[in-house]
Amino acid sequence: MELYIHIPFCMKKCDYCDFLSAPYDLDVRRAYTKALCREIAFFGKKLAGERIETIFIGGGTPSWLETELLDAVMQTVHASFAVEKEAEISMECNPGTVSAAAFASYRRWGLNRLSIGLQSANDDELALLGRIHNFDRFLRTYENARKAGIYNINIDIMTGLPGQTPQKLYFTLQQVIGLRPEHISAYALMIEKGTPFYERYKFDAVRQHAGMATEELPDDDTAYQLTKLTEQVLKEHGFLRYEISNFAKDGLVCRHNVGYWTRVPYLGVGLGAASLLGHTRYANERDMDSYLYQCSLLSEDGSGESPVWAGVDELSRKDEVAEYMYLGLRMTDGISRVGFEQTFGQSIDTYYKETMEQLRNEGMLSLDGGRVRLTEQGMDLSNRVLAEFLLD
């Protein structure tokens, strides 16, 4: 089983961010930590016997949470669950929110993989995104992490930023590659409702989507070039693209995320966290006060009634089949016919024979060697292709 821990705090919300996160006061951060520990303890009892293979601490900016509070959370995790010796323990951090001393502290509870949100090596782009750091601060954070003995580091970068040219992106790529990280995630900027970016760029985003000339966002052709440039440069430097937006060296993929795509069961704890347990997907309460109240009903050692889920989605067989496909196909290895049959006891053709053949004829899918994979074009157009695997 995997464990996801959500830390919904950040020093300042970035202008494009629509994640469940905000700069809460210290007393909320304290109360949240307490609530989170109770929730973890509760599930530790409830899921006794489950072994934890990976842990991912996401946010928000988990590294912005006070070190002693994060320590308390992780102590509770270790006290409540059997965490495997070789478990991947990942955490997100943002440059400028974490000191050398903090890294040492994280190492004590087992942190062995770090994901740093850089986004760009150009300070003007960082300012535009509303990030709290510049490139120089990132370099210091990176160095501190390495010094603390973290040998598996991911760097997040973004393509499709307003005003981004291939030259600027190439500069970012060069800088990042030069640092020799083990993993790079390259996401295309999404203009999400409810963010300052949405207000700023909503019309441009529509224009971009329609293939028309844009004002500040790169036009559709440029955005496409930017992603192609990223893929090409990373490939040349030995980063293997193992998922639509993820690149790794020497097989150092993010095991936790691969778990999501291969439907490994996972428990998500914290505000708004999602879980996949058995044949059901759960979602936690997204409102802070309600979350704190619910957890306050549990005792400190985790005994008590089950918290009320904000979302419970019992998956039908068809749901599971569709998920298996549209999650599995995000990975460049795709899925294997045998794997499908072992999971569902039926041939993949029972569900998707025509769909797959049509998509193959359109050049979106490869069906060779007993595997089903997206082609490079299929990866470029994954939304369209994956939507075809939904079952009515």
- Quick count: other Cβ atoms within 10 Å of Cβ 102? 17
Q: Can you read off the two tokens belonging to residue 313? A: 């989605």
The closest alpha carbon to 169, from 189, 150, 190, 146, belongs to: 189
- CA dist., res. 251 & res. 113, Å (int): 14
- Tracing tokens 């569900």 back to the chain, one arrives at 351
Decide if residue 353 touches another protein (CB under 8 A). no
Which one among 261, 291, 340, 352 touches another protein, defined by CB under 8 A?
261
Site for another protein contains 33 (CB under 8 A) = no
Q: Is 43 in the site for another protein (CB under 8 A)?
A: no
* Nearest CA among 202, 181, 199 for reference residue 254: 181
Shortest distance in whole angstroms from residue 185 CB to another protein: 9
Question: Closest approach of Cβ 303 to another protein, in Å?
Answer: 26
The region of 77-85, 130-138, 144-152, 319-327 touching another protein under the rule CB under 8 A is: 319-327
Near another protein by CB under 8 A: residue from 178, 196, 211, 238: 211
Do 365 and 375 meet the contact criterion of CB atoms below 8 Å apart? Answer: yes
Among 40, 273, 295, 365, binds another protein (CB under 8 A): 273
Q: Give the residue among 15, 98, 93 at the shortest CA–CA distance from 56.
A: 93
| Preceding amide of 302 cis, omega within 30 | no
DSSP code string of 232-293: HHHHHTT-EEEETTEEESTT---HHHHHHHTT--EEEESTT-EEEETTEEEE---SHHHHHH
The span from the CA of 329 to the CA of 339, in Å, is 13
Whole-number Å distance between alpha carbons of 114 and 105: 14
Our measurement of the distance from residue 249's CA atom to the centroid of its chain's CA atoms, rounded to an integer in Å, reads 18
187 part of the interface to another protein, by CB under 8 A: yes
Q: Is 244 in the site for another protein (CB under 8 A)?
A: yes
Q: 140 with 174: CB under 8 angstroms?
A: no
Is residue 274 part of the contact set for another protein (CB under 8 A)?
yes
Residues 6+ apart with CB under 8 A from 273: 4, 5, 6, 283, 284
- Asked whether position 275 contacts another protein by CB under 8 A, the answer is yes
Rounded Cα gap, residues 301 and 14, in angstroms = 36
CB 355, CB 389: distance < 8 Å: yes
DSSP bridge pairs for 365:
374
CB 130 to another protein: min, Å: 17
4 binds another protein (CB under 8 A): yes
CB of residue 180 to another protein, shortest distance in Å: 24
230 binds another protein (CB under 8 A): no
Minimum Å gap between C-beta 65 and another protein is 16
Instruction: Fill in the DSSP letter of residue 154.
Output: E
Q: Which of 220, 233, 292, 360 binds another protein (CB under 8 A)?
A: 220
The single residue among 9, 38, 43, 58 that binds another protein, judged by CB under 8 A, is 58
Instruction: Say whether residue 62 binds another protein (CB under 8 A).
Output: no
> Does 384 interact with another protein (rule: CB under 8 A)?
yes
Binding-site member from 6, 113, 133, 241 for another protein (CB under 8 A): 6
Stretch in the footprint of another protein (CB under 8 A) among 65-73, 167-175, 229-237, 253-261: 253-261
328: contact with another protein by CB under 8 A? no
With contact defined as beta carbons under 8 Å apart, do 186 and 159 qualify? yes
Taking CB under 8 A as the rule, does residue 343 contact another protein?
no
> Applying CB under 8 A, which of residues 19, 24, 198, 344 lies at the interface with another protein?
19
For another protein, which stretch binds (CB under 8 A), given 39-47, 106-114, 116-124, 373-381?
373-381
Q: Is 281 in the site for another protein (CB under 8 A)?
A: yes
Site of interaction with another protein (CB under 8 A):
4, 6, 19, 56, 58, 187-188, 190, 210-211, 220-221, 223-224, 227, 244-245, 257, 260-261, 266, 268, 272-276, 281, 283, 311, 313, 323, 326-327, 330, 362, 379-384, 386-388, 390
